[in-house]
A and B are shown apart, each in its own frame.
Chain A
Amino acid sequence: MSDITIFHARKVITMNPRRPEATHVAVRDGRILGAGTLEELAGWGVHKLDTRFADKVLMPGFVEGHAHAMEGTLWRKVYCGFFDRTDPDGRRWSGLASIDAVLARLAEAEGTLDDPAAPLGGFQLDPIYMDGAVMDRARLDSVSATRPLGVLHASGHIMYVNSKALELAGLMRAGINHPGIPLGPDGMPTGVLKGPEVYMPVAPHVGFNRSATDADEDGLRAFAKLCVRTGTTTVTDLASRLEAEAVQMMLRVTGERRFPARVVPLKFFMGHTPQDLVDLTVKLRDQSTDKLRLGRIKVIADGSIQGFTARLRAPGYYNGAPNGLWYIAPEQLDQIYRLALAAGVPVHTHTNGDEATELVLETLGPALTDTPSRDHRFTLQHCQMADAAQFRRMQALGVCVNLFANHHFYWGDEHYRLTVGPERAERMNACRTALDTGVPMAIHSDAPVTPLAPLFTAWAAVNRITASGRVQGAHERISVAEALYAITLGAAYTLHMDGEVGSIEAGKRADFAVLGGDPTEVAPNALKDIPVWGTVLGGETFDASAL
């Protein structure tokens, strides 16, 4: 007979409506025996009572349905963001409010490097919060004129580099004619490189990996530490190349008893024909373990709204920018959907603009008619601009949605005044409409675009407060209970894992978020400030302060 542990907590929020609260939860072999009173659970037999959480609140481990493991690798660079952010080792980096502060932090990091030719990288810079301040080559040269230096913008779409980096990439010259490379009065690049296709030739010189989307072993471990710090026990890596070697590494690392997360990497669609893509994904599915869940596909239909590359329906961009870019042709999308439906492989499709969402719904409808699949759970990722009619079609087709709730806070003001204008900014990431329409819904961070922190994401969906403090789209706010569902069972449902994780009830995995406060009792605008002690994964405890 295996050992039974009964955890005693100040409160167990189960997300199981039949017994929503409890004081104890019993665990054996990584599974939950039940939640209830000590008397009820003692009936399972000889047990060890663990009281370390007596002053803590347990929730089901949070499920992040849209993140990228590269967040783990980015932290090897210097944090240059405007908002406070915690790194995988638990260090709280203060937000930087000015370009001078960014330069000072870069200079400090520069001072610690011995090799004078070693590159220096930073990430998460967003001058939009700095009253229109400018970052450019000259300013970065003041940190170092001799080593290549590059700082990635928070959106991931822009890189700022110094003269040395431009020189190494062969771009420190006059006569460059490219819309993504602004030139200074001297005819030379200013050091602002707009768009991944523009900064990719420079990125390797400033220490950014060529395949920026994939995490290496250290990155994966760092990513998992962030999961513990945020109460996350199941996390997606939403676009992974999943080459054989990377899969072997992920299997090995996640297979360690003390690896603290269930990782769900989705196979990125590019570089394969639809048939090869689906065949490969089916093969990957067979390699799944309890902590590495393979067998899903990620497709990207359009670009980003703040990058003006999302595909919008009329009336288009508020500032008159031309419509964005497609990353897949309808015929290819149709083939992928049909083959995946036939093979039982779920497809998650990135759509930011409402025209991209429309194309997905129009393509999936006929594919489902021809290849009926009663439980496909195809999911629209981001789906930021969907209107009520599109949510009704999602419901009719059985499509799930994972909305980018964090966007309200980080870019809501920009959407209001620049990208889509006031009316559509207020309906963006329409959580209320999704739930009222009966569309299965999750909410996400898209880490590293915004920080991994499900309680923050819940806060964003509940309050819809922008960075400037305005409530934007009050009608689309959801309740705390609904938000907590979205970051547990809601997200688990989009991954077909709701029978396994997402609530604390008999038979499910013993995955818990261990909190220092009660999300159901704090003021809704304090959700994001609830301290996280760590997690329990399959009955193993992970103390964030001891990682």
Chain B
Amino acid sequence: MSIPVTIIGGYLGAGKTTLINQVLRQADGLRIAVLVNEFGALSIDEDLIEAQEGDVISIAGGCVCCAFGDNLIGAIADMVAMVPAPQHIVIEASGVAIPQAIAATLSLVAGVQLAGIVVLADAETVEARARDTYMGDTILRQISGADVILLTKPDLVEDVAPVTAWLQNMSDAAAIVATAHGRCPNAVVLGVTHTAVSLPTQGLLDHSAQYRSFSFAQTGETDAAVFAQALADTHLGLLRAKGFVRQPDGALFEVQVVGVRWAVSLATAGHGLVCIGLRDRIAEGRIQDLAARHGFHPSRA
């Protein structure tokens, strides 16, 4: 079983560290390994740290944080080999790294699977940064490769609409989510990570009225890849979807969707489908129609 990997990118000061601390606070029993370039003075909130030994910080709840320096591949290999292995890996890319390049590299490493590229954009400064003589093209490359763009510090601008529109223009495929103080549910940042056969909808997103989620149960077989591709349609307003799809040939596949990126992989057990989106974007009717065509019907968790 491959370990899902989320890449968190974005320029310096966009809020990557804040987000990662929030992700760790919401881990809820999930063993997350966070890989950062280096340990800064404030990289992990002190109250989360249980112990530090060299380049590894142990975090309450079985999570770890490692500094990878100039050897990301080696650090990932170490994580995959760890006992017990982490259930999710989060890579904090450096401020000048191109997350797509990291994603391409990940595809070559055994035992891991990309679960999405999340790029942070500072609502106040991202447009000016994108005009910077030296860094502009790097910023634009980061944005254009995102599956999800988290628009951070939205409270610092009067109106997020112009910068949201600008971002959408730079990256038409990405889902854009305004997020203050790193308060974005792990279901959006990491994807739906619960491997339990039943996917809870209540409790998953209860701290924010910004999101909605729908659960489905499968009553008829369908082609997993066809269904996954159909779910990865911007018109549905989905941020994330995860589920298990039984095919007419009897095979069971796990389906993951983030923005317009989708993946299917053979699974041994699991059922149900959960879809998450922004409350004001998610197209409930369309999603239900699509699900119904593929043999999935609304369920109560």
| Chain B residues with CB under 8 A of A211 | 71, 74
Q: Are B98 and A178 in contact (CB under 8 A)?
A: no
Q: Are B74 and A328 in contact (CB under 8 A)?
A: no
How many whole Å from B75's CB to the nearest CB in chain A?
10
Count B-side interface residues using an 8 Å CB cutoff.
Answer: 31
Q: Are A176 and B37 in contact (CB under 8 A)?
A: no
Q: Are A200 and B74 in contact (CB under 8 A)?
A: yes
Residue in contact with A273 in the complex, picked from B11, B39, B98, B109, CB distance below 8 Å: B39
Chain B 71-98 against A: per-residue CB contact (8 Å), 1 yes, 0 no?
Answer: 1111001000000000000000011101
Q: Does B195 contact A (CB under 8 A)?
A: no
Q: Does A371 contact B (CB under 8 A)?
A: no
Q: Does A330 contact B (CB under 8 A)?
A: yes
Q: Does B135 contact A (CB under 8 A)?
A: yes
A355 and B134 CA atoms in complex are apart in Å by: 8
Q: Does A475 contact B (CB under 8 A)?
A: no
Q: Does A470 contact B (CB under 8 A)?
A: no
A204 and B179 CA atoms in complex are apart in Å by: 41
How many whole Å from B77's CB to the nearest CB in chain A?
8
Task: Give the residues from 75 to 125 in chain B that come closer than 8 angstroms, CB to CB, to chain A.
Answer: 77, 94-96, 98, 101, 104-105, 107-110
Q: Find the residue from B38, B40, B68 having the highest chain A CB count within 10 A.
A: B38
A197 and B69 CA atoms in complex are apart in Å by: 13
Q: Does A181 contact B (CB under 8 A)?
A: yes
How many whole Å from B7's CB to the nearest CB in chain A?
13
Q: Does B70 contact A (CB under 8 A)?
A: yes
How many whole Å from A158's CB to the nearest CB in chain B?
15
Q: A176-B108, A326-B96 are in contact. Are A197 and B41 (CB under 8 A)?
A: no
| Chain B residues with CB under 8 A of A210 | 71, 74
A34 and B73 CA atoms in complex are apart in Å by: 54
Task: Give the residues from 145 to 180 in chain B that come closer than 8 angstroms, CB to CB, to chain A.
Answer: none
How many whole Å from A528's CB to the nearest CB in chain B?
34
Q: Does A16 contact B (CB under 8 A)?
A: no
Q: Does A275 contact B (CB under 8 A)?
A: yes
Chain A 352-393 against B: per-residue CB contact (8 Å), 1 yes, 0 no?
Answer: 000100110000000000000000000000000000000000
Residue in contact with A326 in the complex, picked from B39, B40, B138, CB distance below 8 Å: B138
A200 and B76 CA atoms in complex are apart in Å by: 12
Q: Are A271 and B12 in contact (CB under 8 A)?
A: no
Q: Are A179 and B69 in contact (CB under 8 A)?
A: no
A268 and B96 CA atoms in complex are apart in Å by: 17
Residue in contact with A329 in the complex, picked from B72, B95, B109, CB distance below 8 Å: B95
Chain A 281-314 against B: per-residue CB contact (8 Å), 1 yes, 0 no?
Answer: 0000000000000000000000000000001000
Q: Are A271 and B134 in contact (CB under 8 A)?
A: no
Q: Does B192 contact A (CB under 8 A)?
A: no
Q: Are B70 and A270 in contact (CB under 8 A)?
A: yes
Q: Does A325 contact B (CB under 8 A)?
A: yes
How many whole Å from A115's CB to the nearest CB in chain B?
24
| Chain B residues with CB under 8 A of A169 | 108, 110
A201 and B12 CA atoms in complex are apart in Å by: 28
Q: Find the residue from A270, A331, A355 having the highest chain B CB count within 10 A.
A: A270
Q: Does B289 contact A (CB under 8 A)?
A: no
User: Which chain A residue shows the least CB distance to B76?
Assistant: A201
Q: A197-B101, A197-B105, A275-B41 are in contact. Are A330 and B73 (CB under 8 A)?
A: no
| Chain B residues with CB under 8 A of A545 | none
| Chain B residues with CB under 8 A of A276 | 38-39
How many whole Å from B158's CB to the nearest CB in chain A?
26
Q: List 27 A-B contacts (CB under 8 A).
A: A169-B110, A171-B108, A176-B107, A178-B107, A180-B104, A181-B108, A197-B101, A198-B105, A200-B73, A201-B73, A201-B108, A268-B70, A270-B70, A271-B67, A271-B68, A271-B70, A272-B38, A272-B69, A273-B38, A323-B137, A325-B98, A326-B96, A326-B135, A329-B11, A329-B135, A330-B134, A359-B134
The 10 A-B residue pairs whose C-beta atoms are closest, nearest first, are A271-B69, A170-B110, A270-B70, A326-B96, A200-B73, A329-B95, A197-B105, A273-B40, A178-B104, A329-B96
